[in-house]
Amino acid sequence: MKSSGWLRILVLVVLILGRGAFGQTAPALKVVVLAQGPADAKTELQIFCLFRSSAENTLHGSLVEIDERLHGLLGQIRKPGLFGGELGETIVLTPPQGTLGAKRVLIIGLGDSASFTPARMYLVGKIAMREANRLGVAHPFFAPTVLDGGVSNFATGDVAEQVTCGIRDGMASEAMVRKAGAGGALAVVDFTFLAGAAHVADTRGGINRALGK
């Protein structure tokens, strides 16, 4: 009984210290919602997502527009052995001048569309944060493109909430590494989250939930 009591106290102390360290290390995260498509967004880095590269996962909406402006490049790379779209897979493009508004594009794989749930976007948010920081981008733009990937049975707010939680925790871990003297300066200052005009309010609600507002 005594050892069990000490174990409970130890666990409680670890949890308290963990929350304290996390809170002290994590900088304030600012996320802005903008009703604009990723093809036109003028930014240093535009991030969007693609489901697994397979025949049943066709492109819709803004993804079709991006592919057309890139002269079919998305269709060309979405092949076995090239960009498979597996969960967490990434590729960085430098769009030819006059095609997209962004100077660079980061694509993050979402994996299988049939088994997709918003929880998957937590990892995507972490990847977006860490890759943007690695590339030295202060104001990256993010578009989940889940709807444009053909999955429409989840609220955009739920997707945005998970992405923002991932960005928040990714920023906290980067800041902690820097504080320990094991990393460089934190480049990312804020994120701009792109959403269709009809989904702005729901997206903002999800982001606010993630940030505790």
pLDDT (tens place) for every residue of the chain, 213 residues total: 444 443 333 333 333 333 333 444 457 889 999 999 999 999 999 999 999 998 888 999 999 999 999 999 999 999 878 999 999 999 999 999 999 999 999 999 999 999 999 999 999 999 999 999 999 999 999 999 999 999 999 999 999 999 999 999 999 999 899 889 898 889 999 999 999 999 999 999 999 999 997
Q: Round the CA-based radius of gyration of the chain to a whole number and report it.
A: 19
47-to-2, 110, 119, 177, 193 alpha-carbon distances in Å? 53, 13, 18, 24, 10
Full-model pTM = 0.86
* Residue 28: per-residue pLDDT: 83
Query: What sign for the dihedral angle of Cα 203, 118, 82, 68?
Result: negative
Domains of the chain: 28-210 (3.40.220.10)
Report d(CA 187, CA 135) in Å as an integer.
Answer: 8
Q: Write out the two tokens for 167.
A: 């960005």
* Residue 179: per-residue pLDDT: 87
* Residue 69: per-residue pLDDT: 97
* Residue 26: per-residue pLDDT: 59
Report d(CA 10, CA 176) in Å as an integer.
Answer: 23
* Residue 52: per-residue pLDDT: 96
* Residue 23: per-residue pLDDT: 46
